[in-house]
């Protein structure tokens, strides 16, 4: 049997290669083994794609691997950019945010709650709602209720006050008293003691003009009486006095004031001239008294006061005459 040279590789005989061999082309075989008999199998991963530092390696399919951009291994920890789901988490959860209270299970330690709010209080290790004693709200075994039994009564209401109503469109809210009047106009005068209209009962001058609406408010409008100089108007807290002026009486009063001025100057005059002036004044006073008697029927009060003042002037003149 012919031997095979050492430097020739055959395809149908077993050979032991003791030196290094370099193949310039691919080697095809159905099996490769190491010296210890370990079979060399084809690799599970043949390609590495997107090999980024500090990124987690994940399978890319078809014997390929790639680093993912969703998970980063930093010096401070693992950073996950997408939603993380797990059956259980352990550790410090102080940095967790946006936790849904509806998903919490078990007892919540009250000492962890911020109880600085004035709306809540912790009594006997139980969290409760704080209700002011002056409030109409009450806490019962059935929950929170509202009662006005202990609320102080209000004597009356004005347009600045509000009441609590339940609106079908907007729920519970406040409604001004003036707005309420617009809704129950037929009952305003019975419920709220408010006038809704006016009318003239007599046949004289009509002062009532009508009603005008301004928003939900209703205004009563009246005409204004205008007087000329022939009338005198005197007002008190509850009354208005209207009088027709008497021009003659006005003239008499003006004459009275003039006489008072002359009497005042008479005192400083000489005796002879004073006697003459006194006589003339007496005649004028007598004439004035006669005129005032004619006007006394219509203006008794004013004339009476004027007469009393003129009589006092006569007495003063007589006293001056006696001194002379």
- Give the model confidence (pLDDT) of 60-96 as tens digits: 778 888 888 888 888 888 888 888 888 888 888 778 7
pLDDT above 60 (res 8): yes
pLDDT above 80 (res 312): no
Q: Check: CB of residue 172 under 8 Å from CB of residue 166.
A: yes
Mean pLDDT confidence for 189-194:
53
* Burial tier of 46 (Cβ tally within 10 Å: 0-12, 13-18, 19+): exposed
Of all residues in the chain, the percent with pLDDT exceeding 70 is 79
Q: Of residues 91 and 254, which shows the higher confidence score?
A: 91
Helix (H) or strand (E) holding 163: strand 162-167
For the question of whether the overall pTM of this predicted structure is more than 0.75, the answer is no
Residue 216 binned pLDDT confidence (cut-offs 50, 70, 90): low
Q: b/e per residue, 74-100, with b = 16+ CB within 10 A?
A: eeeeeeeeeeeeeeeeeeeeeeeeeee
> What is the predicted pLDDT for the residue at 118?
72
> What is the predicted pLDDT for the residue at 117?
65
Instruction: Give helix 300-323 / helix 247-266 axis angle, nearest 10°.
Output: 20
Q: Of residues 215 and 4, which shows the higher confidence score?
A: 215
- Dihedral of CA atoms 133, 134, 137, 139 in degrees, nearest 10, equals 10
Q: How do the domains of the chain map onto residue ranges?
A: 208-244, 247-323
Q: Check: CB of residue 50 under 8 Å from CB of residue 67.
A: yes
Strand partners, 233: 242
């Amino acid at each position: 049997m012919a031997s095979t040279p050492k430097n020739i590789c055959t395809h149908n005989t077993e050979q032991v290669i003791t030196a290094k061999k370099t193949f310039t082309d691919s080697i095809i075989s159905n099996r490769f083994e190491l010296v210890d008999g370990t079979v060399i199998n084809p690799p599970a991963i043949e390609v590495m794609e997107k090999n980024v530092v500090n990124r987690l390696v994940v399978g890319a399919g078809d014997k390929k691997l790639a680093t993912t951009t969703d998970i980063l291994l930093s010096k401070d920890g693992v950073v996950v950019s997408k939603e993380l789901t797990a059956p259980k988490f352990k550790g410090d959860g102080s940095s967790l945010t946006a936790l849904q209270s509806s998903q919490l299970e078990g007892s919540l330690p009250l000492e962890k709650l911020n109880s600085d709010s004035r709306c809540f209080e912790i009594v006997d290790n139980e969290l409760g709602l704080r209700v002011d004693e002056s409030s109409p709200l009450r806490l019962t075994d059935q929950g929170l209720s509202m009662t006005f039994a202990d609320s102080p009564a209000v004597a009356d209401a004005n347009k600045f006050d509000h009441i609590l109503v339940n609106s079908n469109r907007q729920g519970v809210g406040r409604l001004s008293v003036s707005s309420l009047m617009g809704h129950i106009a037929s009952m305003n005068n019975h419920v709220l003691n408010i006038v809704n209209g006016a009318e003239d009962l007599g046949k004289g001058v009509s002062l009532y003009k009508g009603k005008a609406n301004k928003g939900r408010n209703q205004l009563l409008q009246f005409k204004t009486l205008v007087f000329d100089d022939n009338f005198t108007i005197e007002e008190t807290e509850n009354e208005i006095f209207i009088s027709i002026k008497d021009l003659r009486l006005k003239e008499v009063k003006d004459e009275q004031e003039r006489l008072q001025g002359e009497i005042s100057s008479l005192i400083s005059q000489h005796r002879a001239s004073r006697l003459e002036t006194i006589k003339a004044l007496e005649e004028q006073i007598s004439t004035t008294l006669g005129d005032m008697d004619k006007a006394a029927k219509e203006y008794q009060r004013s004339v009476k006061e004027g007469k009393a003042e003129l009589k006092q002037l006569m007495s003063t003149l007589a006293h001056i005459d006696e001194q002379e």
